[in-house]
Structure 1
């Protein structure tokens, strides 16, 4: 490689770099050190380390691309290792065959070849309808998330001399919460002279616990009046 002298746009002389044979050298910014490698299936490139500036590539970008690559098994032409242990579309063990043979059988069945155990040696592949299988798996995961319940703690407040109509209303609310799979915190509050006869409040609280014992269990119960109140926590029987 030789170094010549040329004219820069501002009229000053600038060095020209030539590769052997008189051809211009490839500028550093266009060399392989700066190119982005393509990530299959993402439509994006992962930038390599910038040796000129010393800056690493966008780590979040790289991590996202790698997560994409490992989220699904290798399918059809993505499978590289041969031989493979083949399972046919009916779930029957075919045995160890070459990768070309496995692909040929998948083509004959008009289905896909999916790598189901990449860490096994030889890797295990199965003939299946990959699009349909993936759709069913996503549907099952969606249903599981939909059916998964996050338990909440609801609160019911009582007074020592709660009248029967009010008590029945609050009892229905408590039972409704429990049947939905939620915990219920029953708080009985005393005011003023009501503390002179705490047994009245205890009887009201015990009545609530007795009226829900068929669908709930007492997980926590105050042993004494604290802060002018008694507290009981109920858990639905089917919560476990």
Structure 2
């Protein structure tokens, strides 16, 4: 395995330490800071005094809010702080559900039973908080029956009026007539 060449000073760019996300301990370069944390009297301190307080507790001085005047620092174990922050971000990501777009396909000659069956699926999708894209697919000479497709989609919109809202009138895109539905109200769990 070949390593990248070192420059004149012996510096190897491959093994450079990443900069920490927050300024900690000696990297805090302001004269005064607002100190917070457990087992600490909150207040404005000189940076050196705040650093001594943190060292006495064998903890780190972490700059939490650098834009405040004076910057806010906290006496805390830095690794534990990063772990809890990462854990909280992961939890927030898991809780935020991405809404999907579900598709439902019709043809101009879709009969009542299929229409009811697909309507029930669309209602379930909308109740789960997903958008529904329904379209009428025209094949061959069926393109002459665009009015049937529009009537079908408007009937579908009427059927879903309680749980979903039609985002716009049905429109043609190529050989498809498309209508989008967005969920109404709050998300319900089944």
TM-score of the superposition, structure 1-length normalised? 0.57
1:237 aligns with 2:184: yes
Counterpart secondary structure, 2:29: coil
The alpha-carbon distance between structure 1 residues 167 and 98, as it changes in their structure 2 partners (threshold 3 A), is closer
Query: 206, 209, 230: which one pairs with 2:154?
Result: 206
Which deviations, in whole Å up to 9, do the C-alpha atoms of 1:135-162 show, x marking residues without a partner? 1210121123333444443321123443
What is the rounded CA distance, in whole Å, between the counterparts of 1:82 and 1:209 in structure 2? 62
- Asked if structure 2 preserves the Cα contact closer than 8 Å seen for 1:218 and 1:232, the reply is yes
* Cα displacement (A) at 1:119: 6.1
Residues 136-151 of structure 1 correspond to what in structure 2 (within 5 A)?
A: 136-151=84-99
Q: Could you tell me which residue of structure 2 aligns to residue 94 of structure 1?
A: 43
What is the rounded CA distance, in whole Å, between the counterparts of 1:227 and 1:75 in structure 2? 59
What is the rounded CA distance, in whole Å, between the counterparts of 2:143 and 2:32 in structure 1? 80
The alpha-carbon distance between structure 1 residues 120 and 194, as it changes in their structure 2 partners (threshold 3 A), is closer
TM-score of the superposition, structure 2-length normalised? 0.69
Counterpart secondary structure, 2:167: strand
The alpha-carbon distance between structure 1 residues 98 and 219, as it changes in their structure 2 partners (threshold 3 A), is closer
- Asked if structure 1 preserves the Cα contact closer than 8 Å seen for 2:108 and 2:145, the reply is no
Q: Could you tell me which residue of structure 2 aligns to residue 56 of structure 1?
A: none
Q: Could you tell me which residue of structure 1 aligns to residue 111 of structure 2?
A: 163
- RMSD of aligned Cα (Å): 3.7
Q: Could you tell me which residue of structure 2 aligns to residue 75 of structure 1?
A: 24
Query: 93, 98, 101: which one pairs with 1:153?
Result: 101
- Asked if structure 2 preserves the Cα contact closer than 8 Å seen for 1:84 and 1:125, the reply is no
Structure 2 unaligned spans of 5+: none
What is the rounded CA distance, in whole Å, between the counterparts of 1:147 and 1:139 in structure 2? 12
The alpha-carbon distance between structure 1 residues 222 and 117, as it changes in their structure 2 partners (threshold 3 A), is closer
Counterpart secondary structure, 1:88: strand
Compare relative contact order (CA 8 Å, sep 6+) and give the higher one, 1 or 2.
2
What is the rounded CA distance, in whole Å, between the counterparts of 1:185 and 1:220 in structure 2? 11
What is the rounded CA distance, in whole Å, between the counterparts of 2:31 and 2:167 in structure 1? 58
